[in-house]
């Protein structure tokens, strides 16, 4: 038996109806999702190294890059 507050029950029942499923199925899906592997849905490290920096070196050219970005913002605004 699962005990929910009246508010939780009403909200869960409404959500299940929005999904077009029974309250039982909604709860089963929540439990199944929670019991899945605890690994994150995605690994942010997969994006590292995807893009070619074009030879830029932020450690050396940081000030110039910032100045260029600021100048572009002002130019885009017509200033």
The predicted-structure confidence for 26-76, as pLDDT tens digits, reads as follows 999 999 988 887 666 677 776 776 666 666 666 777 888 888 888 888 888
Q: Is residue 28 in some structural domain? A: yes
pLDDT at residue 3, rounded to an integer: 93
Q: Is residue 61 in some structural domain? A: no
**Domain housing 11:** 6-35
CB 63 within 8 A of CB 38: no
Q: Is residue 73 in some structural domain? A: no
pLDDT at residue 49, rounded to an integer: 64
pLDDT at residue 24, rounded to an integer: 95
Q: Is residue 14 in some structural domain? A: yes
Q: Is residue 52 in some structural domain? A: no
- Structural domain count of the chain: 1
Q: Is residue 29 in some structural domain? A: yes
What's the rounded Cα separation, in Å, for the pair 55 and 31?
48
Q: Is residue 55 in some structural domain? A: no
Cα distances (angstroms) measured from residue 26 to each of 11, 30, 33, 53, 64? 11, 6, 11, 46, 54
């Amino acid at each position: 038996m699962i005990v929910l507050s009246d508010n939780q029950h009403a909200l869960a029942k409404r959500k299940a109806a929005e999904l077009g499923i029974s309250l039982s199925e909604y709860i089963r899906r929540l439990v199944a999702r929670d019991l899945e592997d605890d690994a994150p849905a995605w690994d942010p490290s997969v994006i590292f190294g995807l893009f070619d920096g074009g030879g830029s070196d932020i450690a050396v050219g940081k000030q110039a890059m910032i100045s260029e970005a600021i100048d572009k913002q002002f130019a885009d605004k017509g200033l």
